[in-house]
């Protein structure tokens, strides 16, 4: 290996005096200590091949023959086929093994973005939709008439409206709301569900009162009752929380908020490790057709690449503002997961990598 001439020292080990193996570990340790973002930027930047050409692909199917370091915007609605009924580019990872035939079914720019978000959420799969509400709707399509949904009571207003006014009366799916932090209430709802509850819906933190729920506990309940757990992770973003690490089956985001981060894209995503769930979501994406445009995917991908920087800065600002408000004479109550006064502060500390940027306060 090549030695780096430097006087930098870590834990009293000088690089120019150390053995090759010691240098390797010292450099790794030094980088780890310096990288407050835990390699998130590297993940967001480089998972979205085709940043380099795929040498194993045929010349016709090569995802990035130019070597462009920024994924291109593919505006084509239709893709040619060498043989009728046989889509090209099945070996392009951004096609998810399906190739390309029609842009509603699959699009190269959308595929790049989906793979990058899947990496950020530490899941195998991601399916993008034209809004967060469309993403929520796609998850509900996993259910059948007569089945039941158990949702956190403090759910986002748009989601609650959809559950109450569309899902319940028009789709034949019974929706119950519960405080997952109240064990007696939860057990009562589960008992009355009669084994028909097939989906648990959780937001943590919630919008806008910032209630935090233990994902691991709810995931265990869902598994015990043979149900799926979906977690709306919008307020934390993939940078501050990865629900799959605590047993969640499905992760939902309004990309419009932090992932895109620039107030110029409306979009949603659903992430999962469950192949059967993924296939159903992909079928719904194609069948219903609520897909984002290639240009929006390009913008959201660019936003994702600075997610770690933005979330760290926003959380620092939120913490400072929350502390200021907590001491202000005109403020009666401040709700922020990073404050020790937050009733679920310890839960947030266990399952989040940061406390986020949202604050609720009362005057």
The reported pLDDT for the residue numbered 130 is 98
The reported pLDDT for the residue numbered 133 is 98
Catalytic residue among 90, 104, 196, 302: 104
Written in H, E and C, the secondary structure of 165-208 is HHHHHHHCCEEEEECCCCHHHHHHHHHHCCCCEEEEEEECCCCC
pLDDT tens-digit profile, the chain (363 residues) = 333 333 333 344 444 445 555 556 666 666 666 677 777 777 766 654 433 333 333 333 355 667 778 889 999 999 999 899 899 899 888 999 999 999 999 999 999 999 999 999 999 999 999 999 999 999 999 999 999 999 999 999 999 999 999 999 999 999 999 999 999 999 999 999 989 999 999 999 999 999 999 999 999 999 999 999 999 999 999 999 999 999 999 999 999 999 999 999 999 999 999 999 999 999 999 999 999 999 999 999 999 999 999 999 999 999 999 999 999 999 999 999 999 999 999 999 999 999 999 999 999
The answer, yes or no, to whether the previous bond of 205 is cis (omega within 30 of 0) is yes
Catalytic residue among 115, 211, 257, 282: 257
282 is catalytic: no
Catalytic residue among 154, 174, 232, 296: 232
The reported pLDDT for the residue numbered 31 is 60
Residue 9: its H or E element: strand 9-10
196 is catalytic: no
Catalytic residue among 44, 156, 239, 355: 156
The reported pLDDT for the residue numbered 61 is 39
The reported pLDDT for the residue numbered 349 is 98
257 is catalytic: yes
The reported pLDDT for the residue numbered 352 is 97
90 is catalytic: no
The reported pLDDT for the residue numbered 341 is 97
The reported pLDDT for the residue numbered 45 is 65
CB contact burial 303-340 (16+ within 10 A = b; e otherwise): bbeebbebbbebbeebbeebeebeeeeeeeebbbbbbe
């Amino acid at each position: 290996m090549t030695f780096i001439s430097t006087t930098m020292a870590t834990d009293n080990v000088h690089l120019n005096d150390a053995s090759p193996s010691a240098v390797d570990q010292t450099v790794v340790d030094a980088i780890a200590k310096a990288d407050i973002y835990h390699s998130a930027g590297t993940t967001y930047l480089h998972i979205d091949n085709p940043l380099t050409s795929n040498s194993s692909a045929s010349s016709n199917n090569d995802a990035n023959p130019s070597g462009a370091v920024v994924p291109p915007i593919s505006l084509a609605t239709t893709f040619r086929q060498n043989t009728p009924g046989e889509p090209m580019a099945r070996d392009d990872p951004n096609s998810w093994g399906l190739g390309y035939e029609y842009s509603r079914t699959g699009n190269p720019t959308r595929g790049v973005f989906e793979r990058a978000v899947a990496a950020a959420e530490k899941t195998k799969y991601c399916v993008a939709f034209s809004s967060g509400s469309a993403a929520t709707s796609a998850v509900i399509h996993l259910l059948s008439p007569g089945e039941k949904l158990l949702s956190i009571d403090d759910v986002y207003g748009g989601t609650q409206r959809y559950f109450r006014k569309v899902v319940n009366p028009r789709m034949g799916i019974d929706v119950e709301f519960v405080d997952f932090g109240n064990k007696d209430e939860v057990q009562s709802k589960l008992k009355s569900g009669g084994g028909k509850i097939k989906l648990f819906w959780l937001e943590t933190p919630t919008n806008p009162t910032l209630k935090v729920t233990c994902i691991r506990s709810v995931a265990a309940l869902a598994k015990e009752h043979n149900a799926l757990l979906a977690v709306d992770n919008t307020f934390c973003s993939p940078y501050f929380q990865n629900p799959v690490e605590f047993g969640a089956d499905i992760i939902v985001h309004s990309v419009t908020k932090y992932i895109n981060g620039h107030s110029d894209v409306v979009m949603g995503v659903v992430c999962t490790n469950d192949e059967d769930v993924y296939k159903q979501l992909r079928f719904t994406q194609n069948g219903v057709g609520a897909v984002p445009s290639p240009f929006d995917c390009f913008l959201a991908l660019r936003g994702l690449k600075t997610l770690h920087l933005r979330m760290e800065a926003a959380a620092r600002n939120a913490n400072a503002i929350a502390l200021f408000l907590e001491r202000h004479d005109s403020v009666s109550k401040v709700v922020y997961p990073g404050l020790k006064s937050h009733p679920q502060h310890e839960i947030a500390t266990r399952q989040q990598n940061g406390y986020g940027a949202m604050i609720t306060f009362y005057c």
